[in-house]
Amino acid sequence: MTAAVRRLVAGLASDALPAYVYDLTALRVHAAAVRAALPERAELYYAAKANPEPEILAALADLVDGYEVSSGGELAHVHQVLPQAALAFGGPGKTPAETALALRIGVGRWHLESEQELRRLAALLAGMPGRTVDVLLRLNLPAGSEALGPVALTMGGRPTPFGLDPDQAERCLRLLAAPGFEQLRLRGVHAHLASGLDAPAQLAVTERIVRRAVELAERHAFELTEVNAGGGMAVDYADPARRFDWKAFGAGLAELLERVPGLRLRIEPGRALTAYCGYYATEVLDVKQSYGQDVAVLRGGTHHLRTPATRGHDQPFTVVPVTDWPHPWARPAVTTGRATLAGQLCTPKDVLAHQAAVTVLRAADRVMFELAGAYAWNISHHDFLMHPRPAFHFLAPGELDV
Ligand SMILES: *Cc1c(COP(=O)(O)O)cnc(C)c1O
């Protein structure tokens, strides 16, 4: 955490909390390092669903090759913020209206998730003579989890709404080669099979996807020019200092690309790009001793930062002590060296960290939750209990040599 972030939070009045603070300089430095670690024929897209705030999208604009969007809403939003940005449009259950919108905006890549999507797109294009679109078939493959170790979430190789099972992929590939589908230009495949992978596991999954793509291209005689291997790079909430090894991953991709000349390999991380630049800052309202444990009640809670509740982790945090205590009564404080950090909601699930070690934590102290730049505000149930919304602060990017 930079001094600027800390200063900003220390200077906010109590009723200006909770607040989301995004360090756009840190975001740009990090994204530039990710970019620099990737080989030349690798493209970096940002998965907008991780954090679609306009300031975040714009801060990444010259550091990513494009944005992955998974709904008509994201599509319209990213296009409005960055009209020139390259877009890849995926997601299951694309409605006819979303399909029409994507055609109107002219997305660069379509990630087709079912045979019906393929047929609908072809049917719409039939009414637009001369118009072609570039498509990737989204595959549902086993991620090979046996070899990967513990993974936060696997969606490949099991029943899901995402992508095409191997036999469905065969059918779609035959269709794409058939008369009536000439306006769909097949570029290759897309897959997003797991999340929470470290670099060796991510590399193994990527190799698996590329191997399948090469095999499909040979068998169905299409020119394979692109593989999009998805996102899912791990963020370690238990140990924020342990980062995904982008250098090792990039070196592995370089080797992989040497074996497949002419291939463009695209990745589309979300979490691992933006998690580190965001903070959810708030203050301690009260500290209670409850059946032998210390419970700190914070202004705000999981209705603003839902991720720890949904993923079942403790959100890492830093305490910013406040010395001033203007009241005549004793200041409520943690007595056991450990505290459960709860929010204001009337549910026992509203906990951001369980029995976390703290040296000092008193009413009016500030708490800054880290790793709150991805899947934080935008996946939370804001309106439950009708507490006020947090403020948003974006620390402007300084000059950066990239
Ligand atoms: C969510 C998603 C991503 C980004 O995943 P992260 O775990 O945030 O890196 C990329 N691609 C697709 C298709 C997704 O659904």
State the chain's mean pLDDT as an integer.
Answer: 95
* pLDDT exceeds cutoff 80 at 103: yes
The CATH number of residue 288's host domain is 2.40.37.10
Whether 168 and 122 have beta carbons less than 8 Å apart is answered as no
Picking from 215, 236, 269, the residue at the C-terminal end of a domain is 269
50 assigned to some structural domain = no
Tell me the pLDDT tens digit for each residue of 248-271.
999 999 999 999 999 999 999 999
Domain boundary among 235, 269, 303: 269
Q: Is 308 in the pocket of ligand 1 (CB under 6 A)?
A: no
Domain residues for the domain of 155 are 86-269
Q: Number of folded domains in the chain?
A: 2
The residues pairing with 391 across neighbouring beta strands, listed in sequence order, are 19
pLDDT at residue 140, as a whole number: 96
Are both 264 and 288 inside the same structural domain? no
Q: What is the pTM of this model?
A: 0.96
> The domain that contains 169 carries what CATH number?
3.20.20.10
Tell how far the Cα of 155 is from the centroid of ligand 1, in angstroms: 11
CB of 47 sitting under 6 A from ligand 1 = yes
Measured CA to CA, the distance from residue 314 to residue 199 in angstroms comes to 23
Domain boundary pick from 238, 269, 300: 269
Ligand 1 center–CA 270 separation, angstroms:
6
User: 226 and 312, same structural domain?
Assistant: no
241 and 336 belong to one structural domain:
no
Q: Is residue 45 part of a domain?
A: no
- Strand segments (E) across 191-292: 194-195, 226-228, 264-267, 278-290
Q: Is 113 in the pocket of ligand 1 (CB under 6 A)?
A: no
The string of pLDDT tens digits covering residues 144-171 is 766 666 666 788 888 999 999 999 999 9
Contacts of 348 (CB under 8 A, 6+ apart): none
Residues 128 and 161 reside in one and the same domain: yes
Same domain, 203 and 243: yes
Instruction: Name which residue sits closest to atom 13 of ligand 1, judged by CA.
Output: 192
Q: Which secondary structure element, helix H or strand E, spans residue 25, and what is its range?
A: helix 24-37
